[in-house]
Amino acid sequence: MKSAVLQLPGLNRDRDMIAALTKISGQAPVTVWQTETDLPDVDLVVIPGGFSYGDYLRCGAIAARMPVMQAVKKAAERGVKVLGVCNGFQILVEAGMLPGALMRNASLKFVCRQVKLEVVNSDTDFTRAYETGQIIRCPVAHHDGNYFADNETLKALEGNGQIVFRYADGTNPNGSVNDVAGVMNEKGNVLGMMPHPENLIEAAHGGNDGRAIFASALEVIAAA
């Protein structure tokens, strides 16, 4: 699997993501700076977490307008897989690549802890290694992870199987509507999620619950 990790000012989880992709795929991803207008030939593009541009205006709003995001949009239109984690999720929403909005946590506080996730849809390129209804652990670290969409959009997301992860067992850390923790586009190749699967992939992390997200994509790409 050939992958790329975007780098923008303020993102601070790129090293974690690079390490996870290298360990799971056996090949180090290329890094792509914000001013690039073209992407290398890759199978997967990842936008990691952090605080791009200091979260000014709205989280991800400035980053979504950088030249590299136009290249990411074009790649996604061609079918390249795109994963946005935490701030990466916010950037995808601000770029119009995923529906909804991510608002300030209901507690108005930064939340950093482990939560439980329900795998709502295991029939995706990112979740094939899980089972529908499976409960996994995953860490979160965010201040603006409160997912919101209007009733009509939520109904469409539910009906299309676009809600991929929910916070489970009362561990919703931010007040997200319907406990939504991760959504994907209609085409099924763009996934955004607030929790950090890259930080739970090996024994040194205390478990490997997040590993299957990357392993699923690797399996699909290898079989193509």
HEC profile of the chain: CCEEEEECCCECCHHHHHHHHHHHHCCCCEEEECCCCCCCCCCEEEECCECHHHHCCCCCCCHHHCHHHHHHHHHHHCCCEEEEECHHHHHHHHCCCCCCEEECCCCCCCEEEEEEEEECCCCCCCCCCCCCCCEEEEEEEECCCEEECCHHHHHHHHHCCCEEEEECCCCCCCCCHHHEEEEECCCCCEEEECCCHHHCCEHHHCECCCHHHHHHHHHHHHHC
Q: Which of 36, 94, 118, 198 is catalytic?
A: 198
Q: Which of 86, 94, 138, 142 is catalytic?
A: 86
pLDDT of residue 67: 97
In 3D space, the residue among 123, 169, 178, 127 whose CA is nearest the CA of residue 148 turns out to be 178
pLDDT of residue 221: 87
**Distance separating the N- and C-terminal Cα atoms of the chain:** 11
Residue type, 116: K
pLDDT of residue 224: 73
N residues, the chain: 224
Give yes or no: 202 in active site. Answer: no
CA distances from 204 to 72, 160, 176, 208 (A): 32, 37, 30, 9
Q: Rounded to two decimals, what is the model's pTM? A: 0.96
Return per-residue pLDDT of the chain as tens, 224 residues. Answer: 899 999 999 999 999 999 999 999 999 999 999 999 999 999 999 999 999 999 988 999 999 999 999 999 999 999 999 999 999 999 999 999 999 999 999 999 999 999 999 999 999 999 999 999 999 999 999 999 999 999 999 999 999 999 999 999 999 999 999 999 999 999 999 999 999 999 999 999 999 999 999 999 998 888 87
pLDDT tens sequence across 31-42: 999 999 999 999
Give yes or no: 112 in active site. Answer: no
Which residue is associated with the tokens 């959009």? Answer: 153
Q: How far apart are CA 179 and CA 138, in angstroms?
A: 14
pLDDT of residue 187: 97
Give yes or no: 86 in active site. Answer: yes
Q: How far apart are CA 139 and CA 159, in angstroms?
A: 28
